[in-house]
Amino acid sequence: MGGLIGAAVFRIFYFGIFCGALAAAGVVWFVPAVDQHREPSLISVEANGGNREVFHINLPQDRILAGMAGVETVPAGLEWPASGTLADAQAELFKIRDAHDIVVGVASRMAGSGAATGSVIEWTLHLPARGSLYATMQPAAGNDGYRSGTLRAGTREFADLGGRVFERYYDVGEAAASGLAIDSRIELVTALVSTLEPDE
């Protein structure tokens, strides 16, 4: 008699595990654990078959962090290393916005110089649900006010792309939709093309 009761208990136990696994699978299927919102990409097609996208940073509101020797840091009280090798180095972190002024990611800007490379500016943009891209730029701006750079690496949708990245800084002096004043703006323009060989 005891053996029959024990067998029935084990059957009920395993049936409960099976039903619980089915219920968990159903919940995961119909209610995703992560439902990350993605703003539509505002991309225009270039005549050469590539694509162009424009981002911008509103200053000072979109500056998250800024460090450089001899200047006020953001956030206040941030201790910038006093090492002589970092005397002319600058690191900044920003929120980046699309053409509709919606925050779509974050970007870091590193500037400095080295004996082997000379002066250089590096941008890394991360766009959630899309990927990241890394570009280097020459420090001198052209007559049009833009610094020109090259896309060096990318992930996800930027992994098979190459091309140019441009940076421009300019004064704005206007009020944002939030009512906060915008002193200046950094504009970033990507002009990218596929690096994959076309199918024969």
pLDDT digits (tens, 9 = 90+) for 63-86: 988 887 666 777 777 777 666 666
For residue range 106-142, list pLDDT tens digits in order: 999 988 775 545 578 899 999 988 899 999 998 888 8
Which two structure tokens, joined as six digits, stand for 32? 């995703």
Cut 0.75: pTM above it? no
Helix, strand, or coil here: 70? coil
> What are the E-state strand segments in the chain?
43-45, 51-59, 63-68, 90-97, 103-114, 118-127, 131-137, 146-154, 161-175, 181-194
Kindly state the tokens that stand for 94.
């920003």
